[in-house]
Amino acid sequence: MMEDPIAGGNNSSDFNYLSGFGNHFSSEALPGALPSSQNSPLICPYGLYAEQISGTSFTTPRKLNLFSWFYRVKPSVTHEPFKARVPSNNRILSEFNQSSDTCTNPTQLRWKPVEIPDSPADFIDGLYTVCGSGSSFLRHGYAIHMYTANKSMDNCAFCNADGDFLVVPQQGRLLITTECGRLKVSPGEIAIIPQGFRFTVNLPDGPSRGYVAEIFGTHFQLPDLGPIGANGLASPRDFLVPTAWFEDKSYPGYTIVQKFGGELFTAAQDFSPFNVVAWHGNYVPYKYDLSKFCPYNTVLFDHSDPSINTVLTAPTDKPGVALLDFVIFPPRWLVAEHTFRPPYYHRNCMSEFMGLIHGGYEAKVDGFLPGGASLHNCMSPHGPDTKSYEATIARGNDVGPNKITDTMAFMFESCLIPRISRWALESPFLDHDYYQCWIGLRSHFTVNETSKTSTLQNGHEE
C-alpha cells in the first residue's frame, strides 16, 4: 500500500479499497497497528495515539450510530488556535434565511457551464453556493454548491464541520486524500466526505469542475427497495472505502482550513493530518461509480417517477420524505408502448436541482450543457422543452424500443424550498432565455364534428 512505510508514499496509481456500504471496516497500513480487544489501550501499538471521530450522538440507536477510531502519529488537536481565514470565500453559504445573502425565486432557472478561472483557485477557493435551505447551526437543511478549480490544494487540508459533502466531478479527476486513506474520483463517479473529516483535493488532470451537495444534521443512506425486492439500483458492494495510508513528515506551516457555520477558519500545525496508521469503524469517506447503478424502468406503459433512480437519500423524520435525494438518469432502454417517454410535465412539492455530467438530457435538446445546472423550485411547472416534445410525438406509437446512450444527468431533490444565492442570480452564466424553451409549445387540441355533437349532448343531458 505504501512505498515507504515510515514516511508514506504519494503514488497516485496505488489506490486500494474496501467494499461495502454501512459496514464496520478495519484497515492498517502497518501490520499490528490496530489494537486488539479494545479501542483505547494505555499504550497503542507503535506508540500511536487513539482518537475517535463520531458522526452521530453517542446515544443514537446502534443501527444508526456512526463512529470510527483512528490510530495516529499525533492527535488532530495538536494545532494553534483557529483564526478567521484571510482571504475568506464569501461565496460559501450555510445559513438560508431572510438575513442571509439569498432570496426566494419561483422562476425556473438554468445556468450555463461556469468557466474555469484564469487566476489560481483550489477546491476551497473554487467552491460557491448556488442555493440551499435551513441552517448548519440548527443541524437541519442542505446547501448546493458548484466548484471550478485549476490547482491542487497546497500545504493545507479542508475540514467541513457543517455537514457531509457529496462531490460530483464533471470535468477532471480528483485525488482526495482523507484521514482514512485516498480516493481517486473520476467524472461519472461520486465521493462522500462525512462531516468533520480532514481532506485535501489534488487535480491530476489540471482544471476541474463539478457539483457538491451538502447536508446538515443527517447522513446519506441507501434507499429502501420496497416491492423491488433485494436487488437493483445501487448495490452495497459497489461502494468503495479507502484503505489506511499515512504520512509521517514535518510540514512547517501546514494549515487546516475549517468550514464552520459557513465561514472559513484556519489553524496552523507542523505535521500532516493524514498520519493515521490504522483505523476501524463505520464512519468513513467512500466513493461510487455511477455506471454500476442498475436502473429499473417501465416495461409496458407510462413513465416511472424519477424516485426509481435514487442512488442515495438523506431522510427526514417523516417516512418517505427526503431532506435530499441524489437521483441519476443513466443510459437505459425505453420500451413503454403508447406512451410519451420523456419525463412528463409536472409541478412538484419537492424542489429539483439538476446537473449534467456528460452527453445530453432526453427532455432538453438545447441549452442544458455538461457542467451546467437548472433549478425547478417547489410547485414551479417544468418538463420537456418544445423540441423534445415535438420530436417525441412526431415519432408516433410505432417507434419501438429505444436506448438512451452516452449520458449521465443527475438531480438533487429536497422537500425544503431553497433560497438562491445572490451570486447565482447575478452570475453572467445565468441563462436569462431559459423560459423560451417552453414558449413555443403550441396547442394540439382538435375537436371534430362527432366530438362536438357528443359534447353538446352530454352537456344538455346534465
Instruction: Report pLDDT digits (tens) over 107-133.
Output: 999 999 999 999 999 999 999 999 999
pLDDT digits (tens, 9 = 90+) for 398-424: 899 999 999 999 999 999 999 999 999
pLDDT (0 to 100) of residue 454: 63
pLDDT (0 to 100) of residue 450: 66
Q: What are phi and psi of 139, to 5 degrees?
A: 60, 35
The pLDDT confidence band at residue 459, using thresholds 50, 70 and 90, is low
Q: Give mean pLDDT, residues 260-271.
A: 96
The pLDDT confidence band at residue 245, using thresholds 50, 70 and 90, is very high
The pLDDT confidence band at residue 453, using thresholds 50, 70 and 90, is low
> Residue 6 above 60 pLDDT?
no
The CA radius of gyration of the chain, in Å to the nearest whole number, is 25
- Does 432 show up as a binding residue in the annotation? no
In angstroms, the Cα distances linking 118 to 115, 210, 316 are 9, 17, 41
The C-alpha atoms of residue 17 and residue 289 are separated, in whole angstroms, by 13
Using DSSP's 3-state secondary structure scheme, residue 248 falls into coil
The position carrying cell 443514537 is 60
Higher local confidence (pLDDT), 328 or 249 = 328
Q: Give mean pLDDT, residues 50-62.
A: 97
pLDDT (0 to 100) of residue 148: 98
The pLDDT confidence band at residue 238, using thresholds 50, 70 and 90, is very high
The pLDDT confidence band at residue 199, using thresholds 50, 70 and 90, is very high
Which residues are annotated as catalytic?
Answer: 303
pLDDT digits (tens, 9 = 90+) for 374-401: 999 999 999 999 999 999 999 998 899 9
Give this prediction's pTM: 0.93
In this prediction, what percent of the chain has a pLDDT beyond 70? Answer: 94
The chain-wide mean pLDDT, for the chain, equals 93
List of residues 6+ apart from 12 with CB closer than 8 A: 175, 184, 202, 204
The alpha carbon dihedral of 254, 258, 264, 267 has a sign of negative
Contact 168, 350 (CB under 8 A): no
List of residues 6+ apart from 121 with CB closer than 8 A: 148, 149, 150, 151
> Residue 458 above 90 pLDDT?
no
The position carrying cell 452516452 is 406
pLDDT digits (tens, 9 = 90+) for 332-361: 999 999 999 999 999 999 999 999 999 999
User: Of the candidates 105, 103, 109, 106, which has an alpha carbon nearest to the alpha carbon of residue 435?
Assistant: 109
> Residue 427 above 70 pLDDT?
yes
**Beta-bridge partner residues of 95:** 135
pLDDT digits (tens, 9 = 90+) for 7-41: 334 444 579 999 999 999 999 999 999 999 999 99
Q: Give mean pLDDT, residues 200-209.
A: 97
In this prediction, what percent of the chain has a pLDDT beyond 90? Answer: 89
pLDDT digits (tens, 9 = 90+) for 58-113: 999 999 999 999 999 999 999 999 999 999 999 999 999 987 789 999 999 999 99
- Does 346 show up as a binding residue in the annotation? yes
